[in-house]
Chains A and B, each alone.
Chain A
Amino acid sequence: MNARKKFHISIAFLSVLWLVIALISIFTGTYEIGPIDAILNPDELSKTIFLNIRIPRVLMATIAGGTLALSGAALQALFRNPLASPFTLGISGGASLGALIAIRLGLGIGILGFSMVSISAFIFSILTMLFVYSVSKVGGVVATGRLLLAGVVANFLYSAIVMFIQFFSNFTESLQTMRWIMGSLDIVGFDTVWKTLIFAVPGCLILLVSTKEMNLFGLGDDVAASLGVNVRRLEKRIYFGTSLAAGSVISVTGPIGFVGLIIPHILRMTLGVDNRIILPCSFLLGASFLTAADTVSRTVISPVEIPVGIITAALGGVFFLWLLIKTKKEVII
């Protein structure tokens, strides 16, 4: 099958998958509303729940899951390494520390409607990416060992600082931070959705228009340049795009782990490694995955909601364990 055909079929299939999951998610929850009632004779309460809770939440899960998976795939292209993701690079950890600092300092007032917690998380996530990238690059090439080590070091450092600050926090601040660090899509109304979109959309678009060059970039700086790619500019573009996209999502939802790692990985196992296919498909599958995970998180022990970050992290852990056992004989990483 040629690349174009593979692209069209996978996009169509994954779009339908997302639509089905989104519809199921909208009609599933603690408060039961049947599809027919909801459309034909909705009462005030159902209307409120639909418009203010369910639909925004499904949209948020879609944007967050899609953006995180897409950013993960792009970071893997940038680092030329399938283990790169917002989570493994310490970007999520950075965002957590940023959020905590803002919570602890009681920075309530935001700028242009963005809360200081989000802004601070955003800044820290970008700084972390810069740090990890510059530390892991030796002689123009990202060394895998250094990359993972830098990510681990960043994560440890951040969690040490987070625990230190937590130790001196009062109960309310402590709870607020814990909830943030667990990662959640618990939003009300469309306000947060729009605010995330403002950054996530341009971020994702920047990455999506660079997929062809990402493929060439995988052949090394020199070959990519000899095939017409402006390598330095491409690197900056991927940087900027992922910071914008992943940063904006993580700063709102908190660190939702492993989506950026698992989703591109699953797709590569089935569709090959062409970034022109992997990136857009990552968005769709990531959106579907997080919407499904979120539906589980708010219904499995209803009416209690488990933060969705716990679900994805648990699934991610099991998935990687399985991957490690399965690929024990063939070295892929």
Chain B
Amino acid sequence: MEKIIECGNIVFSYNGTEVLKGIDFSVSPGEMVGILGANGAGKSTLLKILSGLLQPQSGETLYRNKELSKLSRKELSKRLAYIPQDPVFAFPFTVTETVLMGRAPYIGRFEFERERDLEIAERAMKTVGITPLKDRLISQVSAGERQLASLARALVQEPEIMILDEPATFLDVRHRTEIMKILIKLKEERGISIVAATHDIFAALYYFEEIKILKDGIIFAEGKTETVVTEDILSSAYGIKVTVKKDNGRVFVFPSD
């Protein structure tokens, strides 16, 4: 099957420090991939390269067999949506206006949104459950609701793949669960591929079928969740001794000491 994104031997350094040291990575249509790893392991950098936001110093990134850097930004933005860890909202747009910005790739320089764009935005807000907030200012809703608005914004881009950088890190358990459930729904109902970095090992184990663990700029372990999540691998990836317990088909991870 044709991969959506496929990259090989990616090397990237910031100011002379090598962050990624040769990464091979691929995402198939409808796949849900979780990326784990300690702080500074290179997760965000990898996601930005996959999204075409950073150019690696060497290595090749293909988007549907075409070189990613050769695709126009606008073309790519109709297929790939990116959600950062801590989104910026510099001006107090309303929630609806914020979501509508995801339609930008479909709207000309001198055009305003049409009725159809508004319908798409309203549907997206319904999907993520923020319809009651639609007239509120983005600056006046909670962090969790802002992240849901970002998700809706990504959704109206009508992407085939979503790349999320720790989408749930700052959120409480309810919003975290909501976001994960929405992602599962998008994957199952619309076949959208999901790539997400996360610090939440439980969520990763529970929701993702494929896990990749980054350590020191390389993919340290990858594969189906059950095979990757072992005491040895996690202890080594995070530099702290952990215990993995299985109970009723659910997996629990906690520090040993």
Asked if B118 and A226 sit within 8 Å, CB to CB, the answer is: no
| Interface segment out of the listed A13-21, A39-47, A214-222, A248-256 | A214-222
Given B73, B82, B113, which contacts A222 in the complex, CB threshold below 8 Å? B82
Complex CA gap A219/B97 in Å reads 12
Roughly how many angstroms separate A273 CA and B91 CA in the complex, as a whole number? 7
Closest to B106 in A: A228
A-chain residues with CB within 8 Å of residue B72 when the two chains form the complex: 228
Determine if A226 and B113 form an interchain contact, defined as CB atoms under 8 angstroms apart.
no
CB contacts (< 8 Å) of A3 on chain B: these are 97, 112-113
Q: Are B112 and A2 interface neighbours, CB within 8 A? A: yes
User: Across the interface, which residues of A come within 8 angstroms of B113, CB to CB?
Assistant: 2-4
- Contacts A7-B112, A212-B104, A215-B101 hold; do A226 and B88 have CB atoms under 8 A apart? no
Contacts of A219 in B (CB 8 A): 87-90, 98, 101
Most buried by B among A81, A141, A212: A212
A191 CB-CB contact with B under 8 Å: no
List, in ascending order, chain B residues with CB within 8 A of A223's CB: 82-84, 87-88
Minimal Cβ-Cβ distance residue in A for B117: A2
In the assembled complex, B107 has its CB within 8 A of some CB on chain A: yes
Asked if A228 and B53 make an inter-chain contact with CB atoms under 8 angstroms apart, the answer reads: no
Q: What sequence of 0s and 1s flags, for each residue 89-105 of chain B, a beta carbon within 8 Å of any chain A beta carbon?
A: 11111100110011011
Minimum CB–CB distance from A78 to chain B (whole Å) comes to: 10
Complex Cα distance, B89 from A82, in Å, reads 13
Q: Are B118 and A2 in contact (CB under 8 A)?
A: yes
Is A230 a contact of B73 with CB atoms below 8 Å? yes
- Chain B neighbourhood of A222, CB < 8 A: 48, 51, 53, 82, 84
28 A–B contact pairs at CB < 8 A?
Answer: A2-B112, A2-B118, A4-B112, A80-B88, A80-B90, A80-B91, A141-B88, A212-B107, A216-B104, A218-B93, A219-B88, A219-B98, A222-B82, A223-B82, A223-B84, A223-B88, A225-B53, A226-B80, A226-B81, A227-B77, A227-B102, A228-B72, A228-B77, A268-B91, A272-B93, A273-B93, A274-B93, A274-B97
The one of A209, A220, A273, A276 that contacts B112, using a Cβ cutoff of 8 Å: A276
**A228 and B105: CB pair below 8 A?**
yes
A276 to B110, CA, bound (A): 9
Cα of A209 to Cα of B80 in the assembled complex, Å: 25
What CA separation (Å) do A212 and B52 show in the bound complex? 21
A286 to B191, CA, bound (A): 50
**Which B residues fall within an 8 A CB radius of A?**
48, 51-53, 72-74, 76-77, 80-84, 87-94, 97-98, 101-102, 104-105, 107, 109-110, 112-113, 118, 157
Would you call A218 and B90 a contact (CB within 8 A)?
yes
Tell whether A229 is near chain B: CB-to-CB under 8 Å. Answer: yes
CB neighbours (8 Å) of B52 from chain A are 226
Smallest Cβ distance from B38 to chain A, in angstroms? 21
Residues from chain B with a CB closer than 8 A to the CB of A220 are 84, 87-88, 90
Taking CB atoms, residues of chain B closer than 8 Å to A82 are 91
Cα–Cα distance between A27 and B117 once the two chains are bound (Å): 48
Contact B92 A228 (CB under 8 A): no
Give every chain A residue within 8 A of B82 (Cβ-Cβ): 222-223, 226
Question: Residue A209 contacts which of B48, B77, B109 (CB distance < 8 angstroms)?
Answer: B109
Most buried by B among A2, A80, A212, A226: A226
Choose one: B73, B81, B89, B118; the contact of A229 (CB below 8 Å).
Answer: B73
Task: List the 4 shortest-distance A-B pairs measured between CB atoms, nearest first.
Answer: A220-B88, A80-B90, A226-B82, A4-B112
In the complex, chain A residues whose CB is within 8 Å of the CB of B91: 80, 82, 218, 268, 273
Of all chain B residues, the one with the shortest Cβ separation from A229 is B73
Interchain CB contact (< 8 A) of A81 among B90, B105, B112 = B90
